Amino acid sequence: MSLDIDISTDGVLTADTHLVQSFADLNALKQDGNRTAIVGAEGAFVTDSEGQQLIDGIGGLWCVNAGHKRKEIIDAITDQLNTLDYYSTFYNFTHPTAAALSAKLAELAPGHLNAVHFGNSGSVANDSAIRILHHYYNRLGKPNKKLVLSRQGAYHGSTYLAMAMTQPAYSTGWDTAQGLVHHLRCPHHWREGEGMTETEFLDVLLDDAKSRIEALGAENIACFIAEPIQGAGGLIVPPEGYHAKMGALMRDYDIKYITDEVVTSFGRLGHFFASKDVFGVQPDIITTAKGLTSGYQPLSATILSDEIHEVISGEGAMFLHGMTYSGHPAASAAALANIALMERDQIPERVRTTGKRFESNLRELADLDLVGEVRGSHFMMGIEFVKDKEKKTPFEPEDQIGLKIARAAQNRGLIARPLGNILILSPTLIMTEELIDQTSGILRDSITEVQSAL
């Protein structure tokens, strides 16, 4: 395909002035023009418009799990488009690829999660989960059971409802839907549990949840939504046993448990889904996107329990929800090929070894003065930088510490994602041991360089 623009760096960046970037300081982009045009990708690498090859340390946006340019996925998309380019899953229509994918997801999802509604982004998957649950409670004659419990540190997406479920800090200067969502405490022991053991901190979190539920009234609360590991909120791993205990608490109060596995599923933590296999909780709904197609096509899924499905498909029920691209043939084909590839190459199983090496390599960076905490699991890691290690003093936003280190890493051939004082790493899951070691080496050099310039 030929583009109508010049694809040199200057050409791309000139056309790009018409593009509104997401989650960006648009004014700073205008002023300093510090944008990177990615023009190609293969395996664990991407190439920028200057011809520099970079390790894709963030897997696109924690999504290119199977790696870039996988022929099997590309061929499946092309074959699908040559067979059936588009048809909807509205009304009484269906098509073989979406049907096959729903069956495959029912097989992979834990417990009795066997009913799948498709969307086209993680945000939409989460909005759908809430809309569907509200409808479910209406049908049960419990129209007041509508509130949503989320958490400080959460990220659930950018649509109006998903952003209301996200931690409020993400909407500074923006509005969110009011009145529906209540945020429980963030389960970050290192920052929030000062002076407590992890077990004591877990008790505090459970007490907080319990008292919030009692105050709001369980009869008014529809669900609790939680990422197994909080990602874009700062890479926060909850205390051991947190999800299992919160799961039991919610069950006692008849509150549904939604796990947002938009990032943690499809191999990133060594399993297709992490809720039960890693965190010991059986959710009522799982939402997923990103690694579902390894990012080759936009697709998300809201996977419902048999019990919820039964109620919303009972007599007189009308499912008034869906998106034009729900179960898009090309996206469904991409997901099926991606899953087949992951099963054939045993990607989740391999991540249990390679991801552990990545994690332990990164943990070794904790000896550097700038590094306050290295946290995460397998190929989902974060490094938090501090001014004073003992006191855990954060840098000021204007210090732009994450950004400086990310830029130093990019100059050395690695893309990492700055998030204030934190650097996020979520590479493709096909990283070899050699690349893993190279990545941690680049990070050490980049942090040391910025540290000495301070």
Which residues between 221 and 280 bind ligand PMP (CB under 6 A)?
227, 231-232, 260, 262-263
Q: Which of 119, 113, 80, 116 shows the shortest CA–CA distance to 96?
A: 80
Which residue's CB atom is positioned nearest to ligand PMP? 122
Scanning 69-77, 151-159, 315-323, 335-343 for contacts with ligand PMP by CB under 6 A, the matching segment is 151-159
Among 95, 117, 156, 245, binds ligand PMP (CB under 6 A): 156
Instruction: Give the separation between CA 201 and CA 217, rounded to whole angstroms.
Output: 24
In the complex, minimum distance from the CB of residue 301 to ligand PMP, in angstroms, rounded to a whole number? 12
Q: How many CB atoms lie under 10 A from the CB of residue 51?
A: 9
Cα dihedral across residues 24, 26, 28, 34: positive or negative: positive
In the complex, minimum distance from the CB of residue 8 to ligand PMP, in angstroms, rounded to a whole number? 30
**b or e along 312-326 (b: 16 or more beta carbons within 10 Å of the residue's beta carbon)?**
beeeeeeeeebbebb
Rg (CA), the chain: 22
157 touching ligand PMP, by CB under 6 A: yes
Amino acid at 385: F
In the complex, minimum distance from the CB of residue 223 to ligand PMP, in angstroms, rounded to a whole number? 15
In the complex, minimum distance from the CB of residue 131 to ligand PMP, in angstroms, rounded to a whole number? 15
In the complex, minimum distance from the CB of residue 218 to ligand PMP, in angstroms, rounded to a whole number? 25
Instruction: Give the separation between CA 301 and CA 266, rounded to whole angstroms.
Output: 12
Scanning 30-38, 152-160, 276-284, 362-370 for contacts with ligand PMP by CB under 6 A, the matching segment is 152-160
Q: Nearer to ligand PMP by C-beta: 145 or 256?
A: 256
155 touching ligand PMP, by CB under 6 A: yes
Q: Nearer to ligand PMP by C-beta: 139 or 321?
A: 321
The percent of the chain in helix, strand and coil, each rounded to the nearest 5, is 45, 20, 40
Instruction: Give the separation between CA 217 and CA 145, rounded to whole angstroms.
Output: 9
Q: Nearer to ligand PMP by C-beta: 231 or 418?
A: 231
The secondary structure of residue 24, as a DSSP letter, is S
In the complex, minimum distance from the CB of residue 70 to ligand PMP, in angstroms, rounded to a whole number? 20
On whether the CB atoms of residues 24 and 418 are closer than 8 A, the answer is: no
Q: Nearer to ligand PMP by C-beta: 246 or 435?
A: 246
In the complex, minimum distance from the CB of residue 299 to ligand PMP, in angstroms, rounded to a whole number? 9
In the Cβ-directed half-sphere of 393, how many Cα atoms lie within 13 Å?
A: 8
On whether the CB atoms of residues 245 and 281 are closer than 8 A, the answer is: no
User: What element of type H or E holds 360?
Assistant: helix 347-363
Which residues between 340 and 359 bind ligand PMP (CB under 6 A)?
none
Q: Nearer to ligand PMP by C-beta: 321 or 412?
A: 321
* Contacting residues for 290 by C-beta, under 8 A, at least 6 apart: 61, 62, 63, 65, 122, 262, 263, 265, 266
In the complex, minimum distance from the CB of residue 154 to ligand PMP, in angstroms, rounded to a whole number? 8
Residue pointed to by tokens 């067979």 = 83
Q: Nearer to ligand PMP by C-beta: 101 or 450?
A: 101
326 touching ligand PMP, by CB under 6 A: no
Q: Nearer to ligand PMP by C-beta: 259 or 439?
A: 259
Size of the site for ligand PMP (CB under 6 A): 15
Which residues between 90 and 149 bind ligand PMP (CB under 6 A)?
121-123, 126
Q: Nearer to ligand PMP by C-beta: 23 or 91?
A: 23
Binding site for ligand PMP (CB under 6 A): 121-123, 126, 155-158, 227, 231-232, 260, 262-263, 289
